[in-house]
A = this chain, B = another copy of it.
């Protein structure tokens, strides 16, 4: 696979982003949804910020309060024996170290704009910010699907009651209409197809079940983008392969002559995040035609290997121009980068199912 990483990479780092409050610092500008708007490429950045903290005895936790409708800062004593601080991104209960009670940063969405796709200007203020109780811990990892004249933007909504996926829409990247949570907890990594197929909208989604099953990719259908059903399991983890830990949708599916191409992320059991692809039937996207045996893109560049959470390439959106796939992707949970791949190369790299 021939991969052309931009010379300008990383395109945006936390240092390029002004915090939205004087008492905060930006620690991440990554996992951006991407689209074209007018004559510009828009990256809708996930910006992660944390309260500036000089006190080594406490961790400051930003929580959006539905009561006062603004951020509150909780001080958590690091000596408190009821908490586990092993993962710097979260604070867990010692009784459930696999889950989390709080996040140590707050993510929201912010617009970066570019004429050439390499040099971006970042808006001064947040574009989409937590606004209800289901977003109290922040909003993360947006994707953007353009249908008709409307940009549908959907993202992980995080709170103490769980992680789900909520939907908003805009026509002008100024005004926002909210459509509520479209996938209940626990769910992430939704990618909505850009057109109806046989009269129905489709979306990939990634439940995280507790009793049985694994973080794998499912497909659902809708007639209005707000209500979803007919959930089907699409693809699973693969033992011994690059995507044996968790998988989830990445970019909005790309329509090709050979099928719907979904660029998805897969993590190994040791949390190395790569990008691969799965090809779905044009008329019935619940039918899998082909899949990547090896990653298309894996963390190799310095900015992909070292960051806030190391060894991560994680795309939430691409721009396709002819045969060129401009894959924008978050690197190491810290910054944004872009690499170009050939669509034809990707399709030829897949392993096609022999039966059916």
Asked whether any CB of chain B lies closer than 8 Å to the CB of A289, the reply is no
The reply to whether A213 and B186 contact each other, CB–CB distance below 8 Å, is: yes
Query: Do A160 and B212 touch across chains, with their CB atoms under 8 A apart?
Result: yes
Q: Give A94-113 as 1s and 0s: 1 = Cβ < 8 Å from B's Cβ atoms.
A: 00001111000000000000
What is the bound-complex CA distance between A211 and B212, given in angstroms? Answer: 14
Which B residues are CB-close (under 8 A) to A216? Answer: 161
Within the assembled complex, what's the spacing in Å between the Cα atoms of A101 and B214?
Answer: 11
Task: Looking at the assembled complex, report how far the CB atom of A289 sits from the nearest CB atom of chain B, in whole angstroms.
Answer: 19
Say yes or no for A293: interface residue by CB 8 A criterion: no
- Assuming the contacts A99-B211, A186-B207, A213-B162, asked whether A229 and B230 have C-beta atoms less than 8 A apart, the reply is no
Q: Is A342 an interface residue (CB 8 A)?
A: no
**Which chain B residues lie closer than 8 Å to A163 at the CB level?**
209, 211-213
Q: A183-B184, A186-B207, A231-B180 are in contact. Are A99 and B160 (CB under 8 A)?
A: no
In contact, B224 and A160 (Cβ under 8 angstroms): no
Q: Is the CB of B99 within 8 A of A210?
A: yes
Interface bits A131-173 vs B (CB < 8 Å: 1, else 0): 0011001000000000000000000001111111000000000
A184–B231 touching, CB < 8 Å: yes
Whether B186 and A210, one on each chain, are in contact in the complex, defined by CB atoms closer than 8 angstroms, is yes
B227 touches A223 (CB 8 A): yes
How many Å from the CB of A225 to the closest CB on chain B? Answer: 9
Contact indicator A212/B101 (Cβ below 8 Å): yes
Contacts A161-B233, A161-B236, A232-B181; is A221 near B212 (CB within 8 Å)? no
The reply to whether the CB of A30 lies closer than 8 angstroms to some CB of chain B is no
Shortest Cβ distance from A258 into chain B, in angstroms?
26
Is there an interface contact between A229 and B228, defined as CB atoms closer than 8 Å? yes
Q: Decide if A69 is an interface residue (CB 8 Å cutoff).
A: no
Is the pair B212, A222 in contact by a Cβ cutoff of 8 Å? no
Q: Which residue of the partner chain, among B160, B207, B227, contacts A213 with CB atoms under 8 Å? A: B160
Contacts of A218 in B (CB 8 A): 184
A231 to B133, CA, bound (A): 12
Interface residues on A, range: 35 or more
A151 to chain B, nearest CB (A): 19
- Evaluate contact between A231 and B99: CB separation under 8 angstroms: no
The minimal Cβ–Cβ distance linking A227 to chain B, given in whole angstroms, is 4
**A117 sits at the interface (CB 8 A):** no
A208 on the B face (CB < 8 A):
yes
User: Looking across the interface, which residue of chain B has its beta carbon closest to that of A162?
Assistant: B213
Is A230's CB under 8 angstroms from B180's CB?
yes
Q: Is A205 an interface residue (CB 8 A)?
A: yes
B162 touches A207 (CB 8 A): yes
* Cα-based distance from A101 to B240 in the complex (angstroms): 19
Residues of the B chain whose Cβ atoms lie less than 8 Å from the Cβ of A214 = 161
Instruction: For the complex, give the distance between the alpha carbons of A180 and B230 in Å.
Output: 5
Given contacts A227-B223, A228-B228, contact A100 B211 (CB under 8 A): yes
Q: Cβ of A230: which chain B residues have Cβ within 8 Å of it? A: 179-182, 226-227
Question: In the docked arrangement, what's the CA distance between A220 and B232, Å?
Answer: 19
Cα–Cα distance between A227 and B202 once the two chains are bound (Å): 12
Are A187 and B184 neighbours in the complex by a CB distance under 8 Å? yes
Q: Which residue of B lies closest to A200 (CB)?
A: B227
**In the complex, given contacts A209-B210, A227-B230, what are 14 additional A-B residue pairs having Cβ atoms less than 8 angstroms apart?**
A134-B232, A159-B212, A160-B212, A160-B213, A161-B233, A162-B213, A180-B230, A182-B229, A184-B184, A184-B205, A186-B213, A210-B210, A228-B228, A228-B229
